[in-house]
């Protein structure tokens, strides 16, 4: 059966996805190819597994994309430039390379192109959890990451009819040693104690991406991926062993900001979070 190409395999999501993907794909007779810039890093992360081909290259380079796409039937585009990188790098990876890969994948005749995006593409002020058909209006305060992801989605959708696209919009990803929960305190320390952050565990991201890659008849659709219990600023501090520095006078906030409905993923993909809350993950020892 078809090879599955994964970009961004040494990143925060990719490194935790690939070992699971190798097991799931292998059980169906599929092989996995990962495109990485650093073979030594891939080796240190344990990505040299049975059924996994490690290909050295850069998703921003046309020749490397062409080599990676050769023989691939499914693409999981997990590559992302997150916070702390120069703006031009974020645009290059999150938008330009993603769109170029999509165009080239369409010409190569792939059966499915799964693109990872973010809940930050939604605007503020919806007054409810976001659903997939809502407008994309990332707030300027959310930076280039959100804007570049929104523009990549829009450009990939212009390939409708050519590219069998599925988009997965992820909440704030955590778990399995990922430092994201600790890093969240750089924002949450200034939040009111009851302000909420939508989160999702790496294990649940992996199963969502796998289902998005193989579920029949979901081409052209977008899916929100988030757990069942957003974390308050108080929770974020407690999970990091701290107490929120709350005061009696806290700024107002939108209780629905960043929150998403996952009804579509549950209905179409049969997806359910293995860790419905970070507290469940903490009890399971998978933070």
Tens of pLDDT, residues 142-176: 899 999 999 999 999 999 999 999 999 999 999 99
Q: What is the pLDDT of residue 251?
A: 67
To the question of pTM greater than 0.85 for the whole model, the response is: yes
What are the tokens at 13? Answer: 């999501």
Helix 98-108, helix 143-157: angle, nearest 10: 20
Q: Are 167 and 223 in contact (CB under 8 A)?
A: yes
Helix 202-214, helix 14-27: angle, nearest 10: 50
Q: What is the pLDDT of residue 8?
A: 97
Dump pLDDT digits (tens) for 92-113.
999 999 999 999 999 999 999 9
Q: What is the pLDDT of residue 250?
A: 60
Q: What is the pLDDT of residue 74?
A: 98
Domain ranges of the chain: 3-173+200-226+259-274
What are the tokens at 202? Answer: 């790496």
Q: What is the pLDDT of residue 199?
A: 98
Ranges of residues in the chain with a pLDDT under 50 are 1
Topology of the domain comprising 3-173+200-226+259-274: Rossmann fold (3.40.50)
Q: Are 259 and 196 in contact (CB under 8 A)?
A: yes
Dump pLDDT digits (tens) for 190-214.
899 999 999 999 999 999 999 999 9
Which residues make beta-bridge pairs with 5? 33, 75
Closest by alpha carbon to 48, among 15, 25, 78?
15
**DSSP state, 160?**
T
CA atoms of 172 and 119, how far apart (whole Å): 8
- % of the chain exceeding 70 in pLDDT: 98
Q: What is the pLDDT of residue 87?
A: 94
Q: What is the pLDDT of residue 90?
A: 95
Q: What is the pLDDT of residue 56?
A: 97
Which residues make beta-bridge pairs with 193? none
What are the tokens at 57? Answer: 């290259």
């Amino acid at each position: 059966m078809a090879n599955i190409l994964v970009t961004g395999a040494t990143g925060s999501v990719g490194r935790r996805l690939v070992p699971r993907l190798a097991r799931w794909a292998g059980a169906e007779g599929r092989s996995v190819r990962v495109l990485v810039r650093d073979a030594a890093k891939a080796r240190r992360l344990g990505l040299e597994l049975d059924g996994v081909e490690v290909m050295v290259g850069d998703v921003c380079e046309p020749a490397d994309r062409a080599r990676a796409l050769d023989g691939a039937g499914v693409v999981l585009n997990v590559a992302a430039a997150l916070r702390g990188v120069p703006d031009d790098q974020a645009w290059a990876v999150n938008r330009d390379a993603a769109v170029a890969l999509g165009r080239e994948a369409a010409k190569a005749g792939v059966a499915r192109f799964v693109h990872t995006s973010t809940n930050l593409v939604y605007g503020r002020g919806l007054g409810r959890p976001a659903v997939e058909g809502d407008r994309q209006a990332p707030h300027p305060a959310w930076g280039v990451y959100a804007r570049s992801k929104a523009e990549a989605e829009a450009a990939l959708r212009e390939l409708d009819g050519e590219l069998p696209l599925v988009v997965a919009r992820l909440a704030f990803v955590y778990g399995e040693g990922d430092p994201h929960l600790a890093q969240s305190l750089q924002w949450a320390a200034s939040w009111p104690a009851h302000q909420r952050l939508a989160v999702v565990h790496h294990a649940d991201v992996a199963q969502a991406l796998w289902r998005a890659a193989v579920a029949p008849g979901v081409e052209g659709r977008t899916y929100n991926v988030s757990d069942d219990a957003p974390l308050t600023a108080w929770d974020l501090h407690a999970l990091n062993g701290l107490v929120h520095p709350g005061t009696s006078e806290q700024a107002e906030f939108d209780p629905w900001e960043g929150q998403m409905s996952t009804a579509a993923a549950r209905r179409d993909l049969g997806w359910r979070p293995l860790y419905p809350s970070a507290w469940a993950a903490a009890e399971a020892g998978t933070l």
